Structures are given as structure tokens and as C-alpha cells.
Copies of this chain bind each other. A is one copy, B any other.
Amino acid sequence: MPRHAHRIAQIEPFHVMRILEEARRLESTGREVIHLEVGEPDFPTPPLIIEAGMRALAEGRTFYTGAAGLPELREAISGFYQSRFGLNIDPARIIVTPGASGALQLILALLVGRDNEVLLTDPGYPCNRHLVSLFEGKPVNIPVGADSRFQLTPDHIDQYWSSQTVAALVASPANPTGTVLELAEIADLAAACRQRGGALIVDEIYQGLVYDRPHETALAVADDLFIVNSFSKFFQMTGWRLGWLVAPPEHVAALEKLAQNLFLAAPTPAQYAALAAFHPQTLALLEERRQTLDQRRQYLAKQLTELGFILPACAQGAFYLWADASAFTDNAADLAHRLLHEQGVAVTPGLDFGVDTRCHPFLRFAYTKDISTIKKSGELIATMLANNRIATIFES
């Protein structure tokens, strides 16, 4: 049997997906499961986008586009930066990709040579560190805490940057913590990377899903960033697999060359469909849905606090709450397992997002279901915690 490359043993399965599969297996046996584990809201893709997709198919738009994407779509994205943020971003700097995964792959393939290091937050989105390993680079998982809202600071850059470091990657809003970087903080991080001859990569996949604060982009404060974005989350096009990147002009040709080799082009029907993503009617619907998410966020935060979870940082974005379960357990993975099997509530254990053991008492709750479902999950969690207390009393 052929051996696997060394990297394979280091790459953890993406547990969120495993838990989802386990939940589906339970459901296939007739069990009801409340899904608060997966990063995908229950909203269908907005109707104008669906209609544009259907029209594209009816018109036979099923051939390859250029590797950088449909020119009209690159212009529409540029137009969105203009109308939403007042920024003039040349469409030539925008490359349309198969999901944000495709965008991040291109950027890391460009920058990360063997043994090169990329600074990451721990906790953070687990694929990031695995993709760095894939290109034989070394992810540097920096333990971050509530004191920096689980984000990198210039002090971290100072402390962890080595002669092998080529980039730092931050996410705003972040997964799993939902925290947001202030523009001034991004400017400082960009300066710290720039000063060291490295790049700052900003993951803005949850851009637009922010609450109690303005809709922003890192491009407002620095132009030499690599931006990862997506139609999945804010525009609710998860399954279409469509994202984009914005790069400094001098890197575009190399990124395009990589795109040709890595995936040829993003899916064509999805690209035509996404042209309707910036329509005023779609944007109005997305604003309604953002408000709905905000209501769910507030409800879930209150519920979790009442149950005894600690929410250590102000989650102003994405659709996640990062909840400390140390009042009940040291091993939140075990708690997540029992919640799924005993009560039918699926959540993601913190260890999925971090190498740092400080993540272990955490759970990530996604508020991707309506308030009545969230309420129901609260009752089920309360039941389990009560059983737990009784069991603990009997054991002691």
C-alpha cells in the first residue's frame, strides 16, 4: 500500500463536518437533531440569485470562464467596494475563486514555501493551518485570549515573527469567536507585517455579518493586503462554492497562473448567479436577514449566560458564540458528544479550532437556526446539565 505524505498525519479531520455526519446518521434512525454546529444559516439563497442562476442555465452558460473569473462579476465586486465602502478597487485586482477555500489556497500557494511560517490565531478556522501544512509551510498557532478579543496584536507579530515567517492571517469577523478587528488595529497589524517584508492576509468571509457596528473592510486602511472573501455567508450562497480574493496588483499575474493550474476557473453558473447578489432588492433582503441573525445572537447569548456558560468576548460578527463551559466540564468535547447523543443538540467542541489546550473547555454555538429552535436547544441543554448535576451528586 502506498504511503501517505507526512503532512496527512498532521491534518486533523474538520470535526464540524464529522459531527454533522454523525448527526445525520442519528436523524436517519428517526432522532430529531437541532443543528447548532455547522457554519451555514438556514436561509435559502436569495430569490434573485436563484433566478439569475436558472436563467444562466437556460441560456447555456455552462462553458469555462477565464481563470480570474467573469469580467462582469469582477466589475460587480469592484462596484460593491465602491458603493458600500467608497473604495476604488481595480477589478483587475479581484480574482473569482471556487469558494473562499480556493482564494486562501491561491494566496498560500503563492507565499508559502517549504518551512515558511504563517502566524495564525489559536483558536481559529482549522483549515487555515492545514492549508499551510499542505504547501509544506509551518503554521504558527498563537494562543490568543479574551484580552485581545482572540485576535492577533502587533505584540504577537513582534513576539512570533521569525526569519521564516512570510505572513500573518487574521479573520474579521472571526470564526469561532465572532470577534471583529477595528480598522485601526488592522492598520497596525498591516504595518507590522509590512515592516518585516511580509504580508497580512485578512479573511473577510463573514464581512457584512456584523452587529452593533458598521460594515467595514480592511481595504479601507491598507492597500497591500491579501483579502479573502466569499459569496457563501453574507450572500448565502454556501453550496454554490464561490468566493473571491483581492490582491496587490503586482501579485495578480502569479495568482492567476496558480488559478489556471489549481482549478481552471470557478463554477460558471454560480458566477452568473452572483451577478444578482448586488441587486438592491437582494441587498435589502440580506439586511433583513442580518437583523434576524442579530436577534438570534442576542437571544442565544442571554440563554447561554443563564445556563451558566461564560461568553468571554464581545461577539459582534459572523454567526457564532464561543462559550466557555468550564463551569460544567474540563472536557467540552465529551459534553458535545453527550449533548448530541442524549439530547439531540449538535454543537462544535472547542478543540476543533485550536491546538492550545485553553480551547478545550469551549463550545462553539452557531446561531443558524430560528429563535424557537434555539430556545428548544436551551431546554434540552438545561435538562442535560441538571442530570449531570444529579449524577455528580450521586458520584460524590
- A interface residues, Cβ below 8 angstroms from B: 1-8, 11-14, 17, 20-21, 38, 40, 44-45, 50, 53-54, 57-58, 60-67, 98-99, 101-102, 105, 109-114, 116, 126-127, 130-131, 134-136, 166-167, 197-199, 224, 236-241, 248, 250-251, 254, 256-258, 260-270
Q: List 13 A-B contacts (CB under 8 A).
A: A2-B167, A5-B113, A8-B257, A12-B257, A40-B63, A61-B239, A62-B238, A63-B238, A64-B238, A101-B262, A109-B134, A240-B268, A269-B269
Contacts of A262 in B (CB 8 A): 101, 105, 131, 134
Bound Cα distance from A197 to B1, whole angstroms: 6
Q: How far is the CB of A258 from chain B (nearest CB, A)?
A: 7
Question: Who on chain B is nearest to A2 by CB?
Answer: B199
Bound Cα distance from A130 to B260, whole angstroms: 10
Bound Cα distance from A258 to B268, whole angstroms: 24
Bound Cα distance from A105 to B40, whole angstroms: 25
A4, A66, A135: residue with the most chain B Cβ atoms closer than 10 Å: A4
Contacts of A54 in B (CB 8 A): 54, 57-58
Q: How far is the CB of A389 from chain B (nearest CB, A)?
A: 36
Closest 7 CB pairs of A and B: A239-B268, A5-B113, A14-B260, A2-B199, A136-B136, A45-B62, A130-B261
Contacts of A134 in B (CB 8 A): 109, 135, 261-262
Whether B62 contacts A50 by the Cβ 8 Å rule is yes
Whether B13 contacts A65 by the Cβ 8 Å rule is no
Bound Cα distance from A4 to B166, whole angstroms: 9
Bound Cα distance from A127 to B205, whole angstroms: 28
Bound Cα distance from A265 to B53, whole angstroms: 19
Whether B8 contacts A99 by the Cβ 8 Å rule is no
Whether B240 contacts A62 by the Cβ 8 Å rule is yes
Q: In the complex, given contacts A135-B135, A136-B136, A267-B270, what are 17 additional A-B residue pairs having Cβ atoms less than 8 angstroms apart?
A: A1-B248, A2-B167, A4-B111, A5-B110, A40-B63, A40-B64, A45-B62, A50-B58, A53-B57, A57-B57, A99-B264, A114-B114, A239-B265, A239-B268, A239-B269, A241-B263, A269-B269
Bound Cα distance from A240 to B269, whole angstroms: 7
Contacts of A17 in B (CB 8 A): 66-67, 260, 264
User: Which residue of the partner chain, among B1, B131, B197, B239, contacts A2 with CB atoms under 8 Å?
Assistant: B197
Bound Cα distance from A254 to B251, whole angstroms: 33
Bound Cα distance from A263 to B266, whole angstroms: 12
Contacts of A53 in B (CB 8 A): 57, 269
Contacts of A127 in B (CB 8 A): 260-261
Whether A198 contacts B264 by the Cβ 8 Å rule is no
Whether A13 contacts B257 by the Cβ 8 Å rule is yes
Bound Cα distance from A112 to B8, whole angstroms: 10
Bound Cα distance from A188 to B254, whole angstroms: 39
Question: Who on chain B is nearest to A130 by CB?
Answer: B261
User: Which residue of the partner chain, among B65, B99, B239, B260, contacts A65 with CB atoms under 8 Å?
Assistant: B239
Q: How far is the CB of A134 from chain B (nearest CB, A)?
A: 6
With known contacts A64-B239, A98-B263, A267-B239, A109–B5 Cβ distance under 8 A = yes
Contacts of A65 in B (CB 8 A): 239
Contacts of A269 in B (CB 8 A): 53, 239-240, 269-270
User: Which residue of the partner chain, among B167, B241, B254, contacts A267 with CB atoms under 8 Å?
Assistant: B241
A11, A248, A261: residue with the most chain B Cβ atoms closer than 10 Å: A261
